[in-house]
Amino acid sequence: MSNDSAVRFLDRTTPPHLLTLILLAGLSALAMNIFLPSLTGMADYFETDYRLIQLSVALYLGVNAVLQVFVGPISDRFGRRPVILWGIGLFILATIGCLFAPNVEIFLAFRMGQAVIVAGMVLSRAVVRDMVSQDEAASMIGYLTMGMSVVPMIGPAIGGVLDAQFGWQASFVLMLALGVLIFFLAFRDLGETARKSSSSMREQFREYPELFGSRRFWGYVLCATFASGSFFAYLGGAPYVATEVYHLTPDLTGIYFGAPALGYFAGNYVSGKYSRRVGVNKMILWGSIICALGLLVSLLIFTFTAGSVEIFFAFMTFVGLGNGMVLPNANAGMLSVRPHLAGTASGIGGAIMIGGGAALSAFAGTLLGPGSGATPLIALMFTTSALGVVSIVYVLRREQEIA
C-alpha cells in the first residue's frame, strides 16, 4: 500500500482513516476503565473482597504489558493488519467470557484475556510512524490520542449510568458490541502499512539489544513510564476514594472519574498543534512539570486541610494535561530511535510503561483503607510524576553533552 495515496474511508488499499486508528486505540482505553464505577457492586455480586475485584485493573494492565513485548515484533514480522484483527477477535471472545463468568476467579481469567485488545493501541501508533516522520508523528499521535482521550473521559460516566440502570454487566455488553463494530471497520479500512520483514521471530528478538543499548530510547521510555505512572495509580486508587471515602454513587463516580481526561484532551491538543514547532523534548519537559506541580499543590492541600471530593478530582486534571503533552511526544521519540523497529519499540516501551502502571495500580490499592483518606494516593502520584521530571532533565543534559 502506498502511504502517499489519498485516504479513502473503508478502502484498505489506501492509508487508514484517522477515525479508524482512534477507535482501535480507544477500545483498549475503554476496556481499561468503563467498568470502574461498578467495582463495589461487582464485589458484592461475586461475594468477594473489594481488593480482589480491584485486581481486574492490575491484572489487565499486567497482561497488557506482557503482550506488548510480543505484539510489536510479531507485527514487524507479519504485518500490522493481521495482528490487529486477531487481537480484536480474541477480545470479543474474552468479553463474552466475562459476561457469563460464574465466579470471580473465572471472571478475572477472562478479564486478563481482554488485555489482548492492546494490539489496537500499540499498533495504531506504529501505523502512524510507518507513514510519517518523527516530528509529524508526534503531531499526528497527539491528534490520535486527543480523539482517544474522549473515551476515558466519557467511559466511566457511561459505565456509571449503565450500572445504575442495568447492572455491571451492561458495560461489558457495550464493549462486546463495540468490539464487533470495530472488527468490521478495521477489516474494511485498515490495509498493511509495515514493510514486510524477512527476519524470523528469533532474529526479531535478537534486535532487542539494538534498542536496549540506546540511552535515548531509555530516556523516552522512563519519561513515559513515570508520567503515566501517576495516572495508573489513579486508576487503582480513585474508585476507592470516590466510593469508600466520599461515598459517591456509581453514576457520580463515573462523572468525577473523567476529570483527568479533560486535561488529557487539552494536553493532546497542545501536542498536536505545537510538537512539530517546539520539539518533542521541550513538550515532554513542560508536560512533566505541569503534572508534578498540580499534584504537589493537591498534596499540600490534603496534608494541611481536610480537602474535599471536588478538590481531589479537580487537581487530577493536571495529571491528564501533563500526560497529554508527555505521552504523544515520548512515544514518537521511542518509535524514532530505530524507525525500522517501530513496532518493536512501541511494544517494548508500552510493556515497560504498562507494567509499571500495573504495579502502581495494585500498590495504590494496598495504600488505601479505612481512615486513610486520599492523601496516600496523592503522595504516590506526586512521587511518580516527580521522577518523570528527573527523567526528561537527564535526557536534555545527555543531549547537551553530546552536542
Domain count, the chain: 1
CB count within 10 Å of CB 252 equals: 18
**CA-to-CA distance for 263 and 315, rounded, in angstroms?**
10
- Is the residue at 146 inside a domain? yes
**CA-to-CA distance for 267 and 4, rounded, in angstroms?**
29
Give the Å distances, CA to CA, from 176 to 97, 171, 173, 207.
10, 9, 5, 37
Which of 347, 360, 317 minimizes the C-alpha distance to 74?
347
Q: Residue 323: give the domain boundaries.
A: 18-194+201-402
Question: Is the per-residue pLDDT at 133 higher than 50?
Answer: yes
What letter does residue 245 receive in the DSSP assignment? I
**CA-to-CA distance for 304 and 151, rounded, in angstroms?**
35
pLDDT at 196: 60
Mean pLDDT of 370-382: 88
Greater model confidence, 375 or 370: 375
pLDDT at 278: 83
Mean pLDDT of 21-42: 86
pLDDT at 185: 92
What letter does residue 243 receive in the DSSP assignment? I
- Is the residue at 263 inside a domain? yes
pLDDT at 174: 96
- The set of cell numbers assigned to 141 is 499521535
User: 232-280, pLDDT tens digit by residue?
Assistant: 888 878 888 888 888 888 888 888 887 887 888 888 788 878 877 888 8
Mean pLDDT of 149-156: 71
- The average confidence (pLDDT) of the chain is 82
Is the distance from CB of 222 to CB of 391 less than 8 angstroms?
A: yes
Question: Is the per-residue pLDDT at 282 higher than 80?
Answer: yes
Whether the pTM exceeds 0.85: the reply is no
Question: Is the per-residue pLDDT at 4 higher than 50?
Answer: no
- Is the residue at 289 inside a domain? yes
- Is the residue at 328 inside a domain? yes
* CATH number of domain containing 337: 1.20.1250.20
pLDDT at 94: 97
Burial class (CB in 10 A: 0-12, 13-18, 19+), 90: middle
- Is the residue at 5 inside a domain? no
- Alpha-helical (H) ranges within 149-279 are 150-166, 169-189, 201-206, 208-212, 215-240, 250-257, 259-278
pLDDT at 132: 60
Give the pLDDT band (50/70/90) at residue 1.
Answer: very low
- Is the residue at 59 inside a domain? yes
**CA-to-CA distance for 379 and 400, rounded, in angstroms?**
32
- Is the residue at 41 inside a domain? yes
